[in-house]
Chains A and B, each alone.
Chain A
Amino acid sequence: MSETLSMVAGVISNLAIPLVMLLIVGYGFFKKVKVYEAFVEGAKGGFEVAIKIIPFLVAILVAIGMFRASGAMDFLIALISPATDLIGLPAEALPVAIMRPLSGSGSLGLVTEIMKTHGPDSFIGRLVSTMYGSTETTFYVLAVYFGSVGIKKTRHAVPTGLLADAAGLIGALVICKLVF
């Protein structure tokens, strides 16, 4: 069962991109689009978009980098842990929960560290794996996506993203307690 699952997962991730490309280009050709010219025309925008997001990337990644380097995580953990103890979140998993919306590589590092210590098949190993997979690096995405089109007022995007993250993390805890 599990082997079939991972095989299917592997096949899908390997095939998805080539298939999407073939489908789009093939359909375009079928519809008599000058596919090569259209591609080149569209691709011209790549440079511009990538350059346009640099200021926003710098702003958000520098702030997150400083935050991580300062050791402020420990204060935050001390502050939040009474509440998360109450809902039964293991102490080791809390840093992952805090880091996840901030930094993808940072949280992956923490998850890897926990799995090295406790084993990937331990309860906590599975819990942090689930936590990692169920949310995104919210601030990075918000800053870059909004920045790329020049949106300055983000309205309710930050509370929406953070509440969704919280729901994902609590959901991860509850489902892991039920299943594992």
Chain B
Amino acid sequence: MLNYVWLSLMAIAIVAGAINGKLPEVTKAAFDMAETSVSIAFGLIGIMALWLGILKIAEESGLNTLLAKVIRPVSKRLFPEIPADHPAMASILLNLSANWLGLSNAATPFGLKAMEDLQTLNQDKEEASDAMVVFMGLNTAAITFIPATIIGVRLSLGSAAPQAIIATTIVAGLCATTTAIIVAKLLQRLPGFKRRQSGIDSGIEGGKKS
């Protein structure tokens, strides 16, 4: 699917750029963004190291397992394939919490760790598991309880009530999150998206042992 999205973005950009006479800008954007990507990745090294270090402590102390057990009542419904005390649950929880609090700096390292943990449970290493898609849905549709960035912008523009949008943001985020869960759970059963191997597409039974 990303194949089509990617191809469409590029194809539309080149056609539209030609029609609008903006091909030089398109070329420049391509080179600029390639450079930006690397600075983003490099900028991530330190923060990634910091949180992976902290997470390692959580792992060795058993805090991860403890967290996973605490949220088990909710997580077993959302992620039936993840075993009760698996560390993936802790990194997922940390990633989502960081998103909820609007702490984007911490969210990415936790999220990438969560994907790594989920990948250890995944049978086909090249294909997304049901749990991964649910996690991605929760992540990209994340509710933000403290939309710090936008409050900052509103404040700087002289808003009389910069935080007036917190409640509406939470409601809209709830719509997105609910939809993400429902759609992910529905689509994972459809023939086009269902996993091919037997045993791992049936949720609870499939996740037990590999």
In chain A, residues 123-176, which have Cβ atoms closer than 8 Å to a Cβ of chain B? 125-126, 129-139, 141-146, 148-161, 163-172, 175-176
A69 touches B139 (CB 8 A): no
Instruction: Establish whether residues B63 and A27, one from each chain, have CB atoms under 8 Å apart when the complex forms.
Output: yes
Question: Quick one: CB contact mask for B115-126 with A, threshold 8 Å, 1 for yes?
Answer: 110110000111
User: What is the CA–CA distance of A156 and B133 in the complex, to the nearest angstrom?
Assistant: 7
- Chain B residues closer than 8 Å to A119, beta-carbon distance: 157
Asked whether, in the complex, the Cβ of A167 is within 8 Å of the Cβ of B178, the reply is yes
Residues 21-32 of chain A, each 1 if its beta carbon lies under 8 Å from chain B, else 0: 100110110110
Q: Which size bracket describes the interface of B in this complex?
A: 35 or more
Expressed in whole angstroms, the Cα–Cα distance for A70 and B25 within the complex equals 7
A148 touches B128 (CB 8 A): no
Question: Are B111 and A145 within 8 A (Cβ)?
Answer: yes
B16 contact set on A, CB distance < 8 A:
70-72, 75
How distant is the Cα of A71 from the Cα of B169 in the complex, in angstroms? 29
Interface SS, B side: helix
Across the interface, do B60 and A38 meet the contact criterion of CB distance under 8 Å? Answer: yes
Select which of A40, A72, A149, A155 is within 8 A of B193 by beta carbon. Answer: A155
Residues of A within 8 A of B20 (CB): 70-71, 74
Q: Please determine whether B183 and A159 come into contact, CB atoms closer than 8 angstroms.
A: yes
Complex Cα gap A12–B102 (Å): 10
Q: Which residues from B are CB-within-8-Å of A72?
A: 12-13, 15-17
CA of A151 to CA of B126, assembled, Å: 4
What residues of B have a CB within 8 angstroms of the CB of A155 in the complex? 1, 127-128, 133, 187-188, 193, 195
Pick the interface stretch among B40-48, B69-77, B202-210: B40-48
Tell whether B52 is near chain A: CB-to-CB under 8 Å: yes
Task: State the Cβ distance, A103 to closest chain B Cβ, in Å.
Answer: 10
B38 in contact with A58 (CB, 8 Å): yes
Tell me the B residues contacting A by CB distance below 8 Å.
1-2, 5-6, 9-10, 12-17, 20, 22, 25-26, 28-30, 32-34, 36-38, 40-42, 44-50, 52-63, 94, 99, 101-103, 106, 108-109, 111-112, 115-116, 118-119, 124-128, 132-133, 136-137, 139-144, 146-151, 153-154, 157-169, 171-180, 183-184, 187-188, 190, 193, 195
The 9 closest A-B pairs by CB, nearest first: A42-B56, A46-B49, A171-B175, A168-B176, A65-B33, A134-B172, A43-B53, A133-B147, A72-B16
Show 27 residue pairs from A and B whose CB-CB distance is below 8 angstroms, ordered by the A residue. Answer: A5-B166, A28-B57, A28-B60, A39-B53, A45-B49, A51-B45, A61-B37, A64-B33, A65-B30, A66-B26, A70-B16, A71-B20, A121-B160, A132-B147, A134-B172, A141-B139, A141-B140, A143-B2, A145-B111, A151-B119, A151-B125, A155-B187, A160-B183, A164-B176, A164-B179, A164-B180, A171-B175
